[in-house]
Structure 1
Amino acid sequence: MRLTFFLLLCVPLTSAAAGLHLKVSSRSVSEPIAIKELAGDWRGTQHPGDIAWTRNRIELGVDINGWGIAYTQRYDYVLRFNSETADIYYRDKNDLPAPQGDVPVRLHAWHLRAQGVKFQRSFKWRNGVYVTPSVSLLKGWQFQDGEMQGLLRSDSGTFNGQADLDYRYSQDLLLDHQFRTPSGKGLAVDLTLGWRGESRQAWLQFQDIYGALWWRHAPHTHGRLNTMGRGDESVQLDPAFSGRRELKPYRQRLPVYTVGRYVQQQDDWDLQLDAEYFMDRLWLRPGIRWRALLGNPYLGYEVRDGQWALGLGDDRKRWHLQLASDTWRLERARALTLEFGYMVRW
């Protein structure tokens, strides 16, 4: 990304409306088990649920008179599954007896790691309405996009079954397919719609309202997995594969992520409502910010996951910090949010 930093350095900073900003954000949700255990040994307490996802962003850029350019990097993962799949995996990791009878399994995995240049332009009107579109030109080096669906059966301590597989990837996590690692190029479009009044403000942001990466030689495995059992009562997922492997172009679509905020200002405090929509789920978080206190402390409560949020920031909005979790013991958290931002203006 040498070109990105060259562009940042070449932008003139003599305007009074210029500024340099740094933004870091991380949002993770895991319904069936703690986030720490999701990519680990699944040794914690199991809960109902059929999704797990994480969205992580780093952005460093320059803003001048409504224009913006920034270096951006993202790391995203989305897992969708049925409750039976989560239960089988949990039993496998904890050496528990297999469930009895027919068990339907379904898993969809989507992942992207990419970096690039983000271009942004803000349009403002006298009535307080503003619109901010942005385009990120991305280069990806890691991705997963695949689905597995089938039926497993436990009978007399033996665990067998079949599943159809349609899987594209930069690293084969199932069958250890060896190949030259592909790279992808694409773009992501964001759109922010907002309004500011004397005592109220609201905005709605559509992230990746359109987005795709094109992988030139993407590995593609499609066929059928035959899961063999062993002669004890524990689960073992040890598949044999029959199908095809090939390299072919692939367009990876980006899922739309929507966030919004409404703020009602009072004398010394603000009433705030944050909303988030992703994966067919809606998260709402009412909160209060005390502007009369040092650090403008914020306290909010997210209803769906029971997540408490704490935040701090300065009066001039040069920096802000927010941490949210559904438990004070972060290693057990199933919903975790971290945000940090810093801006220097000239």
Structure 2
Amino acid sequence: MEYRADASLYSEPIAIDAFLDDWQDPDFKSGKYAFAHGLMQLSVQQDQWNLGWLWRYDYILKFSPDMAKLYYQIENDLPLDAESMYELTLHAQHLERIGARIAYDWVPQSNWIFTAGVSALYGRHFVDGQFNAFGETNLMPRLADRVQWLNGQLNYYYDQPALKEDELGLGDFRAKEGYGYALDLTLQGEWLEKWYLKFQLEDIFSYMYWDEAPYSQYQATFDQNSRPRINLTGTVATDKSYKQKIPYKISTELLYNIHSEIQLGVSSFSNPFTSLWQMHFLWQPDSLQLGLHFEPQTKSLGVSFRHENIGMKYLTDNLNTNQAHRMEAYLFAQYQW
């Protein structure tokens, strides 16, 4: 029996704590990505079969630097850049689900294992949509007057409305139920006695199907020289079913034994919007393995340990969690009988 918990978070423009709250962060940086991935899994291995229960969470965002800057300026009551063009884009996916997983291990040859798994999922929450806009500012001091013109559109599906569509009096804008499936593949093994390779694909060709999923589509224009200045049109309705693609995760790991007790390695992690990689130093004098980890792109450092049936890892770019832009942690424990 094995219990596993993983969490991986990254926010490029501001600290994770501020990103998930009110964007109150004095250290704003230009950025285009943010994500949060979470997993909890309890499983039982019997010969080559693995059965388990899981919880998964994905929240991934891709936005233009202007979008991050504009939102930060508004949330912190800062003036918009004068006489500037703003290119605003945002693509968001938010998905939470639980389910059951079954997997099977093949041993194509000694020292190599190929695992294929499939999960049946029940959706608990989702948002999937895009926002696009272009605008220009002038020299006026007030926020309402500084926007010279703006053209934008928003399209998004959801299980519960984020823009108070339920207050329009047009019906119940909540998805009924969501069901889906997910596929995962893993290949791992040793090569030439000194190399260890692991390649993992999670949530590939995987989908959720939401029954009677609401969606909102808005088009808005604003022009200081027009009357009326604002023109807003839109549609709020429900579909019979919305097919949502689950964001994939790709992980790789390559280790080299330079000594009977020491390993050096690299690994990578990718989702649909971004990729990160790490360097590893592992020392295992006996049954205890200790590790040091470094992620160059985010300047994050991490430590890990593993001892027989328990292990954990923690990586961050700042020990003050309120200021960290990057955090990664995992914990596993297993019991054999």
Per the TM superposition, whether the score is higher than 0.5 is yes
1:261 to 247, 253, 265: 253
CA shift, 1:128, in A, is: 2.0
1:256-289 residue CA offsets vs partner (Å, 9 max, x unmatched)? 2110111222222222222212235332211111
**What is the SS of the residue equivalent to 2:335?**
strand
**What is the SS of the residue equivalent to 1:332?**
coil
2:70 to 78, 84, 88: 88
2:214 to 206, 219, 228: 219
Corresponding residue of 1:191: 185
Corresponding residue of 2:227: none
The two structures, once aligned, show a CA RMSD in angstroms of 1.9
Asked whether the 8 Å contact 1:228–1:240 carries over to 2, the reply is no
2:290 to 287, 293, 297: 297
Is 2:100 the counterpart of 1:117?
yes
1:151-209 residue CA offsets vs partner (Å, 9 max, x unmatched)? 23323241352311111011222344352532210001011112224332111001111
Corresponding residue of 1:204: 199
Q: After the TM superposition, which residues 1-346 of structure 1 pair with which residues of structure 2 at under 5 Å, given as runs?
A: 20-44=1-25, 45-100=27-82, 101-155=84-138, 156=140, 157=142, 158=145, 159=147, 161-177=150-166, 179-182=172-175, 183-197=177-191, 198-226=193-221, 241-248=232-239, 249-265=241-257, 266-292=259-285, 295-314=288-307, 316=308, 318-346=309-337
Letter in 2 for 1:184: G
Letter in 1 for 2:253: R
Letter in 1 for 2:264: L
Q: Unaligned stretches of 5+ in structure 1?
A: 1-19, 230-238
Q: Matches of 1:296 and 1:195 in 2, distance apart? A: 19
Q: Matches of 1:95 and 1:35 in 2, distance apart? A: 20
What fraction of aligned residue pairs are identical, expressed as a percent?
Answer: 22
Aligned residues: 316
Letter in 2 for 1:243: G
1:24-64 residue CA offsets vs partner (Å, 9 max, x unmatched)? 00001110010000021212111121010110000011111
Q: 1:342 to 1:252 in 2, by over 3 A?
A: same
Letter in 2 for 1:275: S
Q: 1:270 to 1:246 in 2, by over 3 A?
A: same
Q: Matches of 1:177 and 1:27 in 2, distance apart? A: 33
CA shift, 1:226, in A, is: 4.6
1:88-130 residue CA offsets vs partner (Å, 9 max, x unmatched)? 0000011111122331211111110100001111101333222
